């Protein structure tokens, strides 16, 4: 069926607007990437646009040797990997029983969890609770309060509910118990939604910022988000940490170092996304739309 002139115009306008929107998101990132790979002289003279000028890795070498970015990067990796493992395990263990029709009080428990999406205890009671549990200055203060996302749990619960009951009946006839049914049957065929929720949790833990400022006072435990924010906000602290004295050189180092720090912060998520992108739309749509 051929599109009418009005439909072709509509599609053309949509493509143009979406292209402009994509460029508005891509160009700033390309500019930062170019700054991080350009020479100090090119940055100082303002020659850098969307492509590196006088390609150089000096900025990244200086960033690695003059700041604590390596340690902060490792802290972010630990927070993210352990957080994903804990959150996915808890989310699966919550979603599976709530998806079973035979589970007692499943509706009551589901409504209780949905209630937390609308109302919360507040920042001060949450901090006092974390402090009373002795979790301040530990990463458990980051992992435990947000261990299960109700939104993610509902997606996974709905996905489990949509799996044909014949598959479960066949597994039970073959002698599968609840644990084996979950691990050997349901999880393998739930790979799209599992990958999607892993991405959700990974982005959340990698970019965690506010909780780090509240609960983590030890500077050696700060993650990459906090370090980059401090580098951008406090120029004098950056100059002192880089041990740079001349004003012009400090200016150049600041611009390059900030750009390199932002690139290091966003690069892991940009690299990880293509590996789960093929599951992303399928996982969200099947897990969140019941039909």
pLDDT digits (tens, 9 = 90+) for 257-277: 778 888 888 888 888 887 777
Q: What are the angstrom distances between the C-alpha of 145 and each of 50, 117, 283?
A: 41, 13, 25
Note the pLDDT of residue 288.
46
Q: How many domains does the chain have?
A: 2
168 and 237 both lie in a single domain: yes
Express each pLDDT in 59-104 by its tens digit: 788 777 777 888 889 999 999 999 999 999 999 999 988 888 888 8
224: its two tokens: 């990459």
Which among 40, 56, 72 is the end of a domain? 56
- Residue that has been written with the tokens 């072709």 in this structure: 8
Express each pLDDT in 12-48 by its tens digit: 899 999 999 988 888 888 888 888 888 777 777 777 7
Q: Quick check: 157 pLDDT over 60?
A: yes
Residue 268 maps to a domain: no
175: its two tokens: 């002698």
Q: What are the angstrom distances between the C-alpha of 183 and each of 155, 172, 282?
A: 18, 13, 21
Note the pLDDT of residue 289.
45
Least confident of 186-190, 229-233, 245-249: 245-249
Which range marks the domain in which residue 105 is found? 61-244+282-288
Residues in the chain: 291
Q: What pLDDT band is residue 121 in, cutting at 50, 70 and 90?
A: confident
As a whole number, mean pLDDT of residues 205-218 equals 90
100 and 160 both lie in a single domain: yes
Q: Quick check: 9 pLDDT over 60?
A: yes
pLDDT above 90: percentage of residues in the chain: 14
Cα–Cα distance measured from residue 13 to residue 5, given in angstroms and rounded to the nearest whole number: 12
Note the pLDDT of residue 239.
56
162 and 128 both lie in a single domain: yes
73 and 45 both lie in a single domain: no
**Do 204 and 79 touch, CB atoms closer than 8 A?**
no
pLDDT above 70: percentage of residues in the chain: 88
Which among 56, 72, 93 is the end of a domain? 56
CATH number for position 142: 1.10.3720.10
Residue 218 maps to a domain: yes
Which among 36, 56, 76 is the end of a domain? 56
pTM of the model: 0.81
As a whole number, mean pLDDT of residues 194-201 equals 89
91 and 234 both lie in a single domain: yes
Of 53, 24, 17, the closest CA to residue 36 belongs to 53
Q: What are the angstrom distances between the C-alpha of 242 and each of 101, 138, 152?
A: 60, 28, 42
133 and 74 both lie in a single domain: yes
Cα–Cα distance measured from residue 90 to residue 52, given in angstroms and rounded to the nearest whole number: 45
Residue 267 maps to a domain: no
């Amino acid at each position: 069926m051929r599109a009418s002139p009005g439909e072709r115009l509509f599609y053309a306008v949509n493509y143009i607007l979406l292209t402009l929107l994509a460029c508005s998101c891509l160009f700033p990132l390309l500019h930062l990437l170019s700054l991080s790979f350009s020479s100090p002289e090119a940055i100082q003279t303002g020659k850098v646009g969307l492509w590196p000028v006088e390609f150089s890795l000096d900025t990244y070498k200086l960033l690695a040797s003059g700041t604590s970015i390596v340690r902060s990067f490792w802290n972010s990796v630990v927070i993210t990997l352990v957080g994903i493992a804990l959150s996915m395990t808890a989310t699966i263990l919550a979603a599976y029983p709530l998806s079973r029709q035979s589970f007692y009080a499943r509706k009551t428990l589901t409504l209780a969890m949905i209630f937390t999406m609308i109302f919360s205890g507040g920042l001060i009671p949450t901090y006092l609770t974390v402090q009373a549990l002795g979790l301040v200055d530990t990463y458990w203060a980051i992992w435990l309060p947000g261990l299960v996302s109700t939104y993610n749990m509902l997606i996974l619960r709905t996905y489990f509910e949509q799996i044909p009951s014949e598959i479960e009946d066949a597994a039970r006839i073959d002698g599968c118990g609840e644990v084996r049914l979950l691990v050997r049957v349901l999880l393998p065929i739930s790979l799209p939604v599992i990958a999607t929720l892993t991405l959700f949790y990974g982005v959340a833990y990698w970019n965690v910022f506010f909780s780090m400022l509240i609960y983590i006072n030890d500077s050696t435990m700060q993650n990459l988000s906090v370090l980059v924010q401090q580098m951008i906000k406090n120029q004098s602290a950056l100059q002192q940490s880089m041990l740079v004295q001349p004003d012009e050189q400090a200016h150049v180092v600041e611009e390059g170092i900030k750009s390199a720090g932002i690139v290091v912060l966003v690069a892991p998520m940009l690299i990880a996304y293509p590996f789960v992108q093929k599951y992303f739309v399928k996982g969200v749509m099947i897990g969140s739309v019941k039909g």
